[in-house]
Amino acid sequence: MSRTSTHVVLTGAGGGLGRVILEEVLSRPEVSRVTAFSTRPADYIQSLNFSKTQQALKKLVWVQCDFSNREENFQALLPADGPQECPLVLIHNAGSLDKNVPGQWVESSARTMWEVNFWSALRLTYLLLPGMAPGSHIVNIGSMGGFQGSVKFPGLALYSASKAALACWTECLAAELADRRIHVNCLALGSADTDMLRHAFPGYTAPVTAERMGRFVADFALYSGQLFNGKVIPVAMTTP
Ligand SMILES: NC(=O)c1ccc[n+]([C@@H]2O[C@H](COP(=O)([O-])OP(=O)(O)OC[C@H]3O[C@@H](n4cnc5c(N)ncnc54)[C@H](OP(=O)(O)O)[C@@H]3O)[C@@H](O)[C@H]2O)c1
């Protein structure tokens, strides 16, 4: 399988880890196209100011989309000419974290998190699956909070449960797609220095920068798809 025509689809491309992943995948010559989903408008691309990839921005297709909106029609948002019949690397990175008061929930907040963290991955994956070629790799960005047996923290019940659902779906979908040679893995991330982490753990200093974690995710998604399948992999040095 030639890797010269890999098409990457990335969600949550504008902020935190997503912005780093976006710059990394754009910089790789084997990536022919990147479809980036973001809540931000397309003119946000001008402000990205990527140091090594100004030229590579030609490969970028920007799709503005709010995953918390159940009515959003992903099919209508996607460009008509793709992605079709090429190895696809699909990175479900978009995430939403709204802390709950311990022992309580606000249904609207929980629904937003589940729409962004879980349902958007399902909806986008099942939309793209018919055109995915053998060798494709689906990477779900999970969390240590949703990793079975990990330390749990008050206020993150509804967020962590959505990530646990994503992890379980990873294992199940991998079994269903194995015959098509489409692999599915989940990276259960520990702390990386982003807005989300600062919101979840105020005052905590993350041991890993967004750049380092984002580069790891990009490399894993592009190059480790044939080495792992159906795995939920903890990527964490510390708790949280
Ligand atoms: N940082 C950590 O320590 C950590 C730990 C465990 C797991 N994670 C996971 O890693 C992923 C990236 O998180 P991050 O730390 O980079 O957080 P972040 O800075 O908050 O970025 C999350 C991105 O998700 C997208 N998003 C949020 N709400 C959305 C919505 N309604 N519709 C569509 N997209 C939406 C946004 O992308 P745009 O800005 O492009 O709209 C946002 O920038 C998430 O899945 C998160 O759960 C992070």
Out of 11, 17, 70, 140, give the residue to mutate to test ligand 1, the one with the largest number of ligand atoms within 8 Å of its CB. 17
Q: Summarize pLDDT for 148-206 with one digit per residue, the tens.
A: 999 999 999 999 999 999 999 999 999 999 999 999 999 999 999 999 999 999 999 99
Q: Summarize pLDDT for 14-40 with one digit per residue, the tens.
A: 999 999 999 999 999 999 999 999 999
Distance (Å) from CA 150 to ligand 1 centroid: 21
- Closest protein CA for atom 47 of ligand 1: 95
Domain boundaries, the chain: 6-235
**pLDDT(49) > 80:** no
Does any ligand 1 atom lie closer than 6 A to the CB of residue 39?
yes
Q: Are strands 137-143 and 183-189 parallel, antiparallel or unpaired?
A: parallel
The whole-angstrom separation of Cα 160 and Cα 99 is 10
Does any ligand 1 atom lie closer than 6 A to the CB of residue 214?
no
Contact between 36 and 10 under an 8 Å Cβ cutoff? The reply is yes
Residue type, 159: Y
Distance (Å) from CA 196 to ligand 1 centroid: 7
Based on its alpha-carbon atoms, the radius of gyration of the chain, rounded to whole angstroms, reads 17
Residue 48 pLDDT level (bands cut at 50, 70, 90): confident
Does any ligand 1 atom lie closer than 6 A to the CB of residue 140?
no
For ligand 1, what atom is nearest to the CA of residue 117?
A: 45
pTM of the full predicted structure? 0.97
* Domain covering 6-235 assigned CATH 1.20.120.1200 in the classification: no
The tokens of 192 are what? 């990386």
**pLDDT(79) > 90:** no
Out of 9, 64, 140, 194, give the residue to mutate to test ligand 1, the one with the largest number of ligand atoms within 8 Å of its CB. 194
